[in-house]
């Protein structure tokens, strides 16, 4: 299932928005955003409190919608044939990941800076970052693209891949639901989780919890892909510089592995003693992140194999022996 999903992403990339369930969910989130258009000047303390309560409900219930839809799809497909259920689960994982489009967009930004076409680079990098780009230099545009590639390795691949791998041997429906739920949480955070939006506070906090492990696993994958395991140790110095408790890990690790400076003006400066990425650095970053994704997939496959073996061992263990593990035998004298 993991191999099929990864292959579909490499061959097809992201479907158009009109046919993409993540885009459908995004439209739902946009409709739920009752704080849209409000400014700090027009808000009151009571209004902010109401927004936070509404945001808590959105964070709690909205990601359940894609999770339930994914589970129902896989269960219905499995009822037709077990193979159909596995294919449906792989399809859900494919729709919840985004690697090829990330690498292509990052590469296009870097290539545009090489051609000194900064307007094109500024336009394309807006698909990766939310910062103001009109005054960024070529090196700063490459920095923004490289930072986003590292961060989105965690958001766009590892975060959905790991729970899917662990749950797939137990239940493909549960694995698909977990991947869809995580993607829903990520989407909520990307759309609502801004410091000036009270309605997004709960979504941002939930995303911080969900992304804690994937961000650090992504940093490990980047270090392995760059054949520089010590980059992780060097990255610790700047991993907490960004406001997010998680995104700094893959970004700082990539900065150290490439031996470059990655900077968001006025927000963070990673590996500041080095220079901003050159064209060659940007091209290498795309290759390292791509190899990091391959490392993550291999780890996920190993996790799935291990989970499958554990499930098989439990199934082969007699019920009486299993009960003894849970309820120790008591000897009455």
Which tens digits make up the pLDDT trace of 12-32?
888 888 889 999 999 999 998
Q: How far is CA 41 from the centre of its chain?
A: 33
The helix-helix angle for 172-192 and 21-32 (nearest 10°) equals 50
Selection from 150, 95, 109, 122 nearest residue 296 by Cα: 150
Residue-wise pLDDT for 56-95, tens only, equals: 999 999 999 999 999 999 999 999 999 999 999 999 999 9
Q: What is the pLDDT of residue 298?
A: 94
> Which residue's entry shows tokens 């927004």?
51
Q: Are 90 and 5 in contact (CB under 8 A)?
A: yes
Selection from 248, 247, 246, 257 nearest residue 287 by Cα: 257
> Which residue's entry shows tokens 């919840």?
96
Q: What is the pLDDT of residue 80?
A: 94
With a pLDDT cut of 90, the percent of the chain lying above it is: 74
Contacts of 303 (CB under 8 A, 6+ apart): 162, 165, 166
Q: Is pLDDT larger for residue 120 or for residue 116?
A: 120
Residue-wise pLDDT for 195-249, tens only, equals: 888 999 999 999 999 999 999 999 999 999 999 999 999 999 999 999 999 999 9
How many other C-beta atoms can be found within 10 angstroms of the C-beta atom of residue 19?
A: 10
Q: Is pLDDT larger for residue 41 or for residue 137?
A: 137
What would the mean pLDDT of 189-193 be, rounded to a whole number?
90
Please, which pLDDT band fits residue 42 given cuts at 50, 70 and 90?
low
Q: What is the pLDDT of residue 321?
A: 58
Selection from 157, 147, 152 nearest residue 9 by Cα: 157
Residue 109 CA: distances (Å) to CA of 32, 144, 147, 306: 33, 9, 12, 39
- How far is it, in rounded angstroms, from Cα 4 to Cα 328? 43
User: DSSP character for 17?
Assistant: G
Q: What is the pLDDT of residue 33?
A: 86
Please, which pLDDT band fits residue 308 given cuts at 50, 70 and 90?
confident
User: DSSP character for 274?
Assistant: S
Residue 231 CA: distances (Å) to CA of 106, 150, 262, 332: 22, 14, 14, 58
Helix (H) or strand (E) holding 199: none
Whole-prediction pTM value? 0.89
Strand, helix or coil at 146? helix
Residue-wise pLDDT for 119-142, tens only, equals: 999 999 998 888 888 889 999 999
Residue 100 CA: distances (Å) to CA of 86, 93, 95, 131, 149: 22, 14, 12, 23, 11
Q: What is the pLDDT of residue 35?
A: 65
Q: What is the pLDDT of residue 333?
A: 46
> Which residue's entry shows tokens 């103001």?
132
Q: Are 252 and 241 in contact (CB under 8 A)?
A: yes
With a pLDDT cut of 70, the percent of the chain lying above it is: 92
Please, which pLDDT band fits residue 37 given cuts at 50, 70 and 90?
low
Please, which pLDDT band fits residue 323 given cuts at 50, 70 and 90?
low
Q: Mean pLDDT score of the chain, rounded to an integer?
A: 90
């Amino acid at each position: 299932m993991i191999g099929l999903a990864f292959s579909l992403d490499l061959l097809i990339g992201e479907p158009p928005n009109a046919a993409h369930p993540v885009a459908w969910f995004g439209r739902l989130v946009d409709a739920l955003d009752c704080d849209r258009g409000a400014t700090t000047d027009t808000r009151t303390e009571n209004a902010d409190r109401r927004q936070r309560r509404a945001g808590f409900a959105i964070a709690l219930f909205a990601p359940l919608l894609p999770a339930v839809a994914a589970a129902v799809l896989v269960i219905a497909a499995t009822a037709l044939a077990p193979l159909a259920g596995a294919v449906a689960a792989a399809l859900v994982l494919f729709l919840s990941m985004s690697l090829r489009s990330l690498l292509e967009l990052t590469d296009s930004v870097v290539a545009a800076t090489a051609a000194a076409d900064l307007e094109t680079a500024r336009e394309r990098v807006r698909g990766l970052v939310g910062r103001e780009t009109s005054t960024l230099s070529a090196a700063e545009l490459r920095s923004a693209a490289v930072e986003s590639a590292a961060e989105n390795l965690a958001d766009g691949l590892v975060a959905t891949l790991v729970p899917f791998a662990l749950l797939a041997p137990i239940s493909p429906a549960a694995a698909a639901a977990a991947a869809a739920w995580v993607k829903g949480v990520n989407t909520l955070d990307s759309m609502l989780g801004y410091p000036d939006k009270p309605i997004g506070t709960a979504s941002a906090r939930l995303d911080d919890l969900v992304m804690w492990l994937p961000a650090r696993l992504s940093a490990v994958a980047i270090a392995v892909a760059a054949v520089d395991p010590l980059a992780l140790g060097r990255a610790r110095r700047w991993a907490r510089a960004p406001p997010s408790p998680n995104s700094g890990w893959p970004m700082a690790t990539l900065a150290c592995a490439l031996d470059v400076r990655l900077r968001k003006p006025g927000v963070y400066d990673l590996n500041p003693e080095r220079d901003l990425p050159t064209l060659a650095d940007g091209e290498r970053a795309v290759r390292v992140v791509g190899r990091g994704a391959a490392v993550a997939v291999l780890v996920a496959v190993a996790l799935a194999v291990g989970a499958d073996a554990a499930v098989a061992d439990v199934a082969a263990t007699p019920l009486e022996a299993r009960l003894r593990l849970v309820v120790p035998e008591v000897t009455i004298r």
